[in-house]
Amino acid sequence: MQEKLNEILNRAKESLEKATSIQETEDIRIQMLGKKGELTSILKSMKDLSPEEKKALGMGVNKAKAEVEEMLQKKFEEVKTKARAVKLQAEKIDVTEPGKEVELGSKHPLTVTIEEITKVFKNMGFSVVEGPEIETVFHNFDALNAGPNHPARDMTDTFYVNEDILLRTQTSPVQVRTLLKEEPPIRVISPGRVFRCDTPDATHSPVFHQIEGLVVDEGITMADLKGVLDSFAKQLFGENTRTKFRPHHFPFTEPSAEMDVSCFKCGGKGCRVCKGSGWIEILGCGMVHPNVLKVGDIDTEKYTGFAFGLGAERVAMLKYEIDDIRLNYENDMRYIKQFK
Ligand code: DAH
């Protein structure tokens, strides 16, 4: 029996020497000391022995068990330390290594332009409001006094979702939403995306950006419109900028006008930017039509207002001398990076 015990002990020693992982060590523990382990089974075979033999064998087994346990404990310590070292090595971070360079982004020219325009109007006391891009025909056309046969309603100009819903063709419906929600005095601007069924080319895009403006208060006249928009032009294009208002037509304003600014490139002498005329058309504007004010239940005897709308792409392209509107939507970093 003692021989067998020695043999088991030697085998335990040998395999423990070879073990390199926690799992291998644990397997050996089970093989030796587990319920069906080798040392445990020896004890089970004692039942046919004499009391003396039992005693001697019991002591031998217990001694062997103690030895194996000690060897196991040492091995466990060893493989656990090793495992920890391997894990630490794998997770090691060299804090002295130089960091990855993060490229600083730049603002899109349209963002720059919209922010600049917004800032000018905010400084004049306007607040910024937003409206939905998916609009009702009511807000986009009906409430803006566009007659049932107005050409802009045509399927070839407007993206319809269904009979009553469309992608807004202008930011002007935000005027209607503001009038329905707020009481005068009103002073708001509303930048946003608009949509038209246009085939893209150098000057057309089916999606572009407008900035709408609306002022309603007691005693607002065309003089206020001209004063505010002239001041805006000087702040955006430079102090020496002159403005000129030409009569025009919009269904939601009466009278209506377009505002030109003296060319900020040549000062009015005539150049490539102003196509030789010295003037550049910048926006549409006018006194809010009473029919529009009435939609918001506003007393047209007491209140009057003016509105304006300008294209962000147009302003950006003029300012930065960009000759193709499509450049704005291609996300070409070589283009965008120029507007830091
Ligand atoms: N909504 C017009 C357009 O898309 C632009 C415009 C003109 C807006 C005159 C206005 C305005 O508020 O008064 O062509």
Q: What is the CATH number of the domain that holds 213?
A: 3.30.930.10
Residue 97 domain-assigned (yes or no): no
Query: Residue 214 CA: which ligand 1 atom is closest?
Result: 12
What is the reported pLDDT for 238? 94
Residue 99 domain-assigned (yes or no): no
Q: Which of 236, 247, 243, 238 is nearest to 261 (CA)?
A: 243
**One domain, residues 119 and 205:** yes
Q: In what order do the strands lie in the sheet with 127-128?
A: 127-128, 186-195, 207-218, 303-311, 279-288, 253-262, 243-250
**One domain, residues 184 and 267:** yes
**Most informative mutation of 193, 194, 250 for ligand 1 (most atoms within 8 A of CB):** 250
Strands 303-311 and 207-218: antiparallel
Tell me the CA–centroid distance for residue 214 and ligand 1, in Å.
Answer: 11
Amino acid at 136: T
**One domain, residues 68 and 121:** no
Tell me the CA–centroid distance for residue 86 and ligand 1, in Å.
Answer: 70
Q: What is the CA radius of gyration of the chain?
A: 42
**One domain, residues 45 and 130:** no
**One domain, residues 166 and 214:** yes
What is the reported pLDDT for 61? 84
**One domain, residues 247 and 142:** yes
Handedness of CA 155, 157, 160, 165 (dihedral sign): negative
**One domain, residues 162 and 36:** no
The last residue of a domain, from among 44, 59, 90? 90
The secondary structure of residue 104, as a DSSP letter, is: P
Residue 98 domain-assigned (yes or no): no
The last residue of a domain, from among 90, 119, 148? 90
Residue nearest atom 8 of ligand 1, based on CA coordinates = 309
What does pLDDT average to in each consecutive run of 10 residues of the chain (340 residues)?
83 88 89 84 79 83 86 89 90 89 88 97 98 98 93 89 97 98 97 96 95 98 98 96 97 97 92 92 97 97 98 93 93 86
Tell me the CA–centroid distance for residue 240 and ligand 1, in Å.
Answer: 26
**One domain, residues 133 and 272:** yes
Long-range contacts of 147-151 (CB under 8 A, 24+ apart): 147/251, 150/251
Residue 103 domain-assigned (yes or no): no
**One domain, residues 67 and 143:** no
Task: Please tell me whether residue 299 adopts helix, strand or coil conformation.
Answer: coil
What is the reported pLDDT for 60? 83
Tell me the CA–centroid distance for residue 35 and ligand 1, in Å.
Answer: 89
What is the reported pLDDT for 183? 96
**One domain, residues 85 and 160:** no
Q: Which residues line ligand 1 (CB under 6 A)?
A: 170, 172, 212, 250, 253, 284-286, 307-309
Residue 101 domain-assigned (yes or no): no
What is the reported pLDDT for 155? 83
The last residue of a domain, from among 45, 62, 90? 90
Query: Residue 309 CA: which ligand 1 atom is closest?
Result: 8
Domain assignment of residue 7, given as a range? 2-90
Residue 50 domain-assigned (yes or no): yes
pTM of the model as a whole: 0.73
Tell me the CA–centroid distance for residue 253 and ligand 1, in Å.
Answer: 9
Residue 96 domain-assigned (yes or no): no
Query: Residue 253 CA: which ligand 1 atom is closest?
Result: 13
Number of structural domains found in the chain: 2
**One domain, residues 279 and 186:** yes
The secondary structure of residue 152, as a DSSP letter, is: G
d(CA 272, CA 278): 10
**One domain, residues 86 and 223:** no
Tell me the CA–centroid distance for residue 251 and ligand 1, in Å.
Answer: 9
Helix (H) or strand (E) holding 123: helix 109-123
233, β-bridge pairs = none
What is the reported pLDDT for 126? 98
Residue 100 domain-assigned (yes or no): no
